[in-house]
Structure 1
């Protein structure tokens, strides 16, 4: 018999809720400590995009991002969660300003970490320069916050993945947790195909997309620090792990990151497919990686996967 809803604990509900399927607010409600979520510039303030009405496009009263503060396992955190169901989580002027302002507040305080739940296809074409400027401002705000001692943790596992400017912002974070659906790339599959041709990248080949941009490959490459199963509870546990592991930031870490990227190019520059990279990494049955259940993959990644904790 199924337990009555009132008897289900928050952790059980979080364990039974798909991060991929959940809305931004549901993710936050289950990720943070019960009753601790406080939103800044919420929907009641109706800070909407000034550009969408020109194109006869629907607006959203929070402009597709939820920002605020709460507690995670008793400790204070700032948070930002993109709503991938609204315009694919794309960055616009107001959307970007809310995240930039949050990061600047974290920098000024200096002791409260920031969780960014990235779920985005990139910049809104309708907001063009305003969206591109927002990405630049966010990247600078992330780096300034980190330089001030703030840990900025990215959590990626939503419907829209983490593309375009979102991919650049992810690369600036202190650490990343990703699930299998959590694709990370600067250029999306359709963009690559449009500009380079289907011979370069077939966007309709879902297996190719997932093994090239998906969470498993990103974890094995060291482009993400932790692989999480697709539940909100797993992402909560990943966030706590990364907050404990993320180190300080400075010039030495940037130099180490540059060296790591040079080593990656030297090791894998001649590989034509993710499977080739996994084989070079020493994985005996590389072809089986996409089908591995989360627990088996996590064990493999912890044994073989590279880490980016040097940056």
Structure 2
């Protein structure tokens, strides 16, 4: 028998809510302490894109991103959540400005971390120049915030994944949590196929896409620090873990990252498929990785132990 709605605790509701399926606002509502979220530049201010009307495209009053502050386990945090169901969570002028402003506020305060809930296909083609500029401004704002001592944590598990400029921004974060659905890449499958041919990458091969760009592969590579199951409570717990693990940022972090990337290229550069990389990592049955339940995969990832506390 199902318990009455009023008897379900926030943690139980968060545990039963898919991060992948939830809207940006639902993710924030369940991720943060109950009733603590305060939105900045909300829909009532009608800060919409100045470009979409030119193309006769629909606007959204929050321009596809929700920003504000709240509490996580009693501690203050700044938060931003992209809405993947509006233009694929793509970056435009207003969308990007809201995130840039939030990061600059965090830099000025210097002691409140930032959580970014990525759900984006990259830059809006209709706002190409403004969107590309927004990506550059956000990346700079992330690095300036981290230099000022702010932890910037990325949570990736939405419908649109984390592609294009979003993948670049994620690479600048202090740490990342990802679910199996949380694909991360600079170029999407269709973009690779269009430019390099289907022989290079078949975008219709969904198994190939997910094992190449999906969260399990990113975790095993060390490109993500924590693997979360597809529910909001798991992402909440992952965020708390990463806030406790992420360290200070400086030149030593950049050097460590360069060494890590050079080592990864040297070790896996000749691998033709993610399965080859998993085999080289010591996974006994690499072909079975995509089908592993979350708890078994977490145990495997922890056993391999490849993780990074550097600049991503």
TM-score category, normalised to shorter length: over 0.9
Q: Is the 8 A contact 1:221 1:305 kept in 2?
A: no
Paired residue secondary structure (2:88):
helix
Superposed CA deviations along residues 59-118 of structure 1, whole A, max 9, x for unmatched, are: 000000000000000000000000000000000000000000000000000000000000
Provide, for residues 214-239 of structure 1, a one-character-per-residue CA deviation record: whole Å limited to 9, x for no partner. 00000000000000000000000000
- Alpha carbons of structure 1 residues 18 and 203: separation in structure 2 relative to 1, 3 Å: same
* Separation of aligned partners in 2, 1:98 and 1:263: 37
TM-score (norm 2): 0.99
What is the TM-score with the length of structure 1 in the denominator? 1.00
Task: After superposition, give the CA deviation of every residue in 1:178-214 in whole Å (9 maximum; x if it has no partner).
Answer: 0000000000000000000000000000000000000
Q: Structure 1 residue 305: deviation in Å?
A: 4.1
Is the 8 Å Cα contact of residues 64 and 86 (structure 2) preserved in structure 1? yes
Asked if structure 2 preserves the Cα contact closer than 8 Å seen for 1:92 and 1:130, the reply is yes
Q: How far apart, CA to CA, are the structure 2 residues paired with 1:115 and 1:5? A: 28
- 2:124 is aligned to 124
Residues 111-190 of structure 1: pairs in structure 2 closer than 5 A: 111-190=111-190
2: distance between equivalents of 1:217 and 1:181? 11
Q: Secondary structure at the match of 2:210?
A: helix
After superposition, give the CA deviation of every residue in 1:144-176 in whole Å (9 maximum; x if it has no partner): 000000000000000000000000000000000
Secondary structure, in 3 states, of the residue corresponding to 2:185? coil
TM-superposed CA distance for 1:306, in Å, is 1.1
Between the aligned partners of 1:305 and 1:171, the Cα distance in structure 2 is 20
Instruction: Please say if residues 121 and 161 of structure 1, whose CA atoms lie closer than 8 Å, have aligned partners that are also in contact.
Output: yes
CA distances 1:276-295 after superposition (whole Å, capped 9, x unpaired): 00000011100000000000
Q: How many residues align?
A: 311
The CA distance in 1 between the partners of 2:228 and 2:217, in whole Å, is: 13
TM-fit CA distance, 1:30: 0.1
TM superposition shift of 1:308: 1.5
> Contact 1:142/1:152 (CA < 8 Å) preserved in 2?
yes
After TM superposition, give the deviation of residue 310 of structure 1 in Å: 2.6
Contact 1:153 1:243 in 2 (8 A): yes
Q: Distance in 1 between matches of 2:196 and 2:90?
A: 23
Does structure 2 conserve the Cα–Cα contact (< 8 Å) formed by 1:193 and 1:202? yes
Counterpart-to-counterpart distance in 2, 1:280 and 1:15:
34
What RMSD in Å do the two structures reach over aligned CA positions? 0.4
Q: Which residue of 2 aligns with 1:70?
A: 70
C-alpha separation in 1, matches of 2:118 and 2:306: 22
* Contact kept? 1:219, 1:305, Cα under 8 Å: no
* 8 A contact 2:174–2:310 mirrored in 1: no
Contact 1:100 1:137 in 2 (8 A): yes
Residue number in structure 1 paired with 2:202: 202
Task: Decide whether the 8 Å contact of 1:115 with 1:155 is kept in 2.
Answer: yes
Residue by residue over 1:237-262, the C-alpha shift from the partner in whole angstroms, topping out at 9 and shown as x without a partner, is: 00000000000000001000000000
Gaps of 5+ in 1: none
SS in 2 for 1:20: coil
